[in-house]
Amino acid sequence: MSTVAPETARTDAQDGDVLVDVRGLKVHFPIKRGIIFDRTVGYVYAVDGMDLQIRRGETYGLVGESGCGKSTFGRALLQLEELTDGEVHFDGVDLSSLKGEELRLQRRHMQMVFQDPMGSLDPRQTVEQLLLEGMRAHGLTKTQDARQRLVDLLKAVGLPRNALNKYPHEFSGGQRQRIGIARALAVDPQLIVADEPVSALDVSVQAQVINLLEDLQEQFGLTYLVIAHDLAVVRHMSDRIGVMYLGSLVEESHADELYAEPLHPYTRALMSAVPVPDPVVEDSREQILLPGDLPSPANPPSGCRFHTRCPWRQETLCDTERPQLRTLDLPEVTAGHRVACHWAEQIASGEIQRHEVSAVATERTPTGSADGSSLFGPQSEIEAE
Ligand SMILES: Nc1ncnc2c1ncn2[C@@H]1O[C@H](COP(=O)(O)OP(=O)(O)OP(=O)(O)O)[C@@H](O)[C@H]1O
Ligand SMILES: [Mg+2]
């Protein structure tokens, strides 16, 4: 099932600092055809080789365009999707080897917060029932202080005590997200995967929820994987950031270094599209506009997945060989900064110059972002070149 060398995976998982260790993770969804959908005619390569580690207590931000596989990765990490290949080690335990009750017990340590709090909360259940559900499943209601725990949870997420008897529709969007967070916290997890936790909320409420997540992290010693297409959210929250493109990481670094020194052509394009508050800097910056859309994950390009849109593409290596995520031997780049580009050093030194990208035919991805936006802003801006 796995192509991962067991020795390597074990060594890293034993590192006390690493809480989550993902190796060679793949999730391919079969595309079925036929009257009873009995023929597999292809696959959506939603996650296609993800390697990353999340350290205890840190916030790891995962960014990428709509449809690049972020949510599928988050779900696969929690074993909510069947893995096509690869391994997920949580706190040294290989989750892929667990089944049934053993897996259920491990799940308590990993919870998810969703983008749409209304869609993820059962409208027929009161807040009390919603919170008790998870606690009951893990035997946390047997103790006498379960009631006190509910009160403490509400306090922790900034909801009034009388919220317990109310239903989700009686709350505002921001409050509902607080309920979603309380529900995740109720089982005392170590890791929270927050998939676009604020993108469905009003801008005025977003900062409050981000601040709450940060406070809770400190209070409960939580580890976060925050998935977002909004670079501002991720930058604000994350210690480290991974940039995803068509199912795998193209770059990973400490948050500050990623913004100061983006090395992968895709990350450079993302960063060049982020507005800078200083108008002088803003005017002097060069925007890198990428041609075309994200290719379909059902038919990804050969070689480097990004070569069809890359302004630094070199023939023919980029078209034929898929680059590995690797560290660079450059003085200004720290050891934890990894890039999947054959030419990262030459691009950084200016030896390889950016060129016009001819319109390479790319198939439009069947997905759209839930809120219609992309990392680049309006689609027309990307296609302007
Ligand atoms: N259950 C499924 N069956 C088939 N294809 C799927 C399934 N779930 C996701 N996909 C496809 O996998 C690809 C990755 O989807 P995913 O939802 O992980 O992307 P994402 O990066 O989270 O996008 P967004 O920013 O829009 O949330 C998409 O092409 C999507 O259509
Ligand atoms: Mg998603």
Taking only the tens place, the pLDDT of each residue in 122-149 is 999 999 999 999 898 888 887 768 888 9
pLDDT above 60 for 374: no
Taking only the tens place, the pLDDT of each residue in 28-75 is 999 999 888 889 999 999 999 999 999 999 999 999 999 999 999 999
What confidence tier does 283 reach under pLDDT thresholds 50, 70, 90? low
| Nearest to 138, CA basis, from 164, 171, 173, 103 | 103
Give the count of alpha carbons within 13 A of 379, CB side only.
10
Contact status, residue 333 vs residue 254, Cβ threshold 8 Å = no
Give pTM, 2 decimals.
0.88
Q: Is any ligand 1 atom within 6 A of the Cβ of residue 367?
A: yes
Task: Please give the domain boundaries of the chain with CATH numbers for all domains.
Answer: 54-81+98-244 (3.40.50.300), 255-382 (no CATH)
pLDDT above 80 for 222: yes
Q: Is any ligand 1 atom within 6 A of the Cβ of residue 71?
A: yes
Query: Nearest ligand, CA of residue 63?
Result: 1
Q: Is any ligand 1 atom within 6 A of the Cβ of residue 240?
A: no
Q: Is any ligand 1 atom within 6 A of the Cβ of residue 49?
A: no
Lowest pLDDT segment from 19-33, 113-127, 248-262: 113-127
**pLDDT reported for residue 119:** 82
Of 29, 81, 243, the one to substitute when testing ligand 1's pocket (max ligand atoms within 8 A of C-beta) is 29
Taking only the tens place, the pLDDT of each residue in 303-355 is 999 999 999 999 999 999 999 999 988 888 888 899 999 999 999 999 999 98
Q: Is any ligand 1 atom within 6 A of the Cβ of residue 67?
A: yes
| Nearest to 362, CA basis, from 305, 308, 289 | 308
Taking only the tens place, the pLDDT of each residue in 4-31 is 344 344 334 344 499 999 999 999 999 9
Residue 46 corresponds to which tokens in the numbers above?
A: 């939603």
**pLDDT reported for residue 242:** 98
Taking only the tens place, the pLDDT of each residue in 295-317 is 999 999 999 999 999 999 999 99
Q: What percentage of the chain has pLDDT greater than the value 70? A: 85
Contact status, residue 189 vs residue 90, Cβ threshold 8 Å = no
Classify the C-alpha dihedral 334-340-342-348 as positive or negative.
negative
Give the closest residue (by CA) to ligand 1 atom 16: 69
Atom of ligand 1 nearest to the CA of 74: 18
Of 32, 33, 71, the one to substitute when testing ligand 1's pocket (max ligand atoms within 8 A of C-beta) is 71
pLDDT above 70 for 359: no
Exposure b/e, 226-254, CB count within 10 A at least 16 = b: bbbbbbebbbbbbebbbbbbbbbbbbbbb
| CA atoms of 263 and 342, how far apart (whole Å) | 11
Atom of ligand 1 nearest to the CA of 115: 27
**pLDDT reported for residue 357:** 78
| Strands ordered across the beta sheet of 223-227 | 110-113, 191-195, 223-227, 59-63, 240-245, 248-254, 338-339, 326-327
Give the closest residue (by CA) to ligand 1 atom 13: 46
| Nearest to 223, CA basis, from 17, 364, 367 | 17
Query: Within 10 Å of residue 143's Cβ, how many Cβ atoms?
Result: 11
Taking only the tens place, the pLDDT of each residue in 267-281 is 999 988 777 666 666
DSSP H or E segment with residue 46: strand 39-55
Q: Which residues pair with 173 in a beta bridge?
A: none
**pLDDT reported for residue 7:** 39
**pLDDT reported for residue 378:** 36
